[in-house]
Amino acid sequence: MRLLPANRGTFPDTFSKSLIMETSKKHARKVVRLSREMQDNYAHSRKVRIYHGTSNSTRVLSFKKNGVVDISDLDQVIKVNKNGRYAIVEPNVPMDKLVNETLKHGLIPPVVMEFPGITVGGGIQGGAGESSSFKWGLFDNCCLEYEVILGNGKVVKASPKVKADLFYGLASSYGSVGIISAAKLKLIPAKKYVRLKYIKVNSFEEVVEVIKKETKRGSDFVDGILFSKNLGVVMEGTLTDYVDLPITTFSKTTDEWFYLHAKKNAEKKSGWEEIIPIRDYFFRYDQGTFWVSRYAFLRLKFPFNRFTRMLFNVAFKTRAMFRFLQALKTSQQTITQDISLSADKIFTFLDYLDKNINIYPLWFCPLRPIKDAFLSPIFMSTDLIINVGVWGKLIKDFKKILNLNRKIEKKTLELGGRKILYAQCYYPESEFWSIYDRQKYDKLREKYDSTKTFPDIYDKVIVKEKYKVSYLGGLVSFIKSPTKYPIS
Ligand SMILES: Cc1cc2nc3c(=O)[nH]c(=O)nc-3n(C[C@H](O)[C@H](O)[C@H](O)COP(=O)(O)OP(=O)(O)OC[C@H]3O[C@@H](n4cnc5c(N)ncnc54)[C@H](O)[C@@H]3O)c2cc1C
- 277 in a structural domain: no
How far away, in angstroms, is 127 Cα from ligand 1 center? 7
The domain in which residue 110 lies consists of 6-189
- 439 in a structural domain: no
CA distance 278 to 12: 42
Note the pLDDT tens digit of each residue in 71-114: 999 999 999 999 999 999 999 999 999 999 999 999 999 999 99
**Which residue would you say has higher pLDDT here, 330 or 67?**
67
How far away, in angstroms, is 350 Cα from ligand 1 center? 25
- 62 in a structural domain: yes
How far away, in angstroms, is 157 Cα from ligand 1 center? 23
How far away, in angstroms, is 372 Cα from ligand 1 center? 20
Q: What local confidence, expressed as pLDDT, does residue 135 receive?
A: 97
Whether residue 337 is predicted with pLDDT greater than 90 in this model: the reply is yes
Distance of CA 349 to the CA centre of its chain: 22
The reply to whether ligand 1 has any atom less than 6 angstroms from the CB of 292 is: yes
Q: What local confidence, expressed as pLDDT, does residue 323 receive?
A: 77
- 80 in a structural domain: yes
- 266 in a structural domain: no
Q: Which of 51, 118, 286 to mutate to test the pocket of ligand 1 (most atoms within 8 A of CB)?
A: 118
Q: What local confidence, expressed as pLDDT, does residue 115 receive?
A: 94
Residue closest by Cα to atom 37 of ligand 1? 122
Q: Which CATH number fits the domain that encloses residue 34?
A: 3.30.465.10
Domain count, the chain: 1
- 151 in a structural domain: yes
Phi, psi (rounded to 5 degrees) for 406: -65, -35
Note the pLDDT tens digit of each residue in 268-326: 999 999 999 999 999 999 999 999 988 888 878 889 999 999 988 888 888 877 777 76
CA distance 463 to 481: 26
The model carries a pTM of 0.92
For residue 184, the SS3 value is strand
In 93-151 the beta strands, taken as DSSP E runs, fall at 107-108, 143-149
Assess contact for 234 and 211: CB atoms under 8 A.
yes
Residue closest by Cα to atom 30 of ligand 1? 55
Distances (CA, A) of 337 to 172, 175, 179: 16, 20, 25
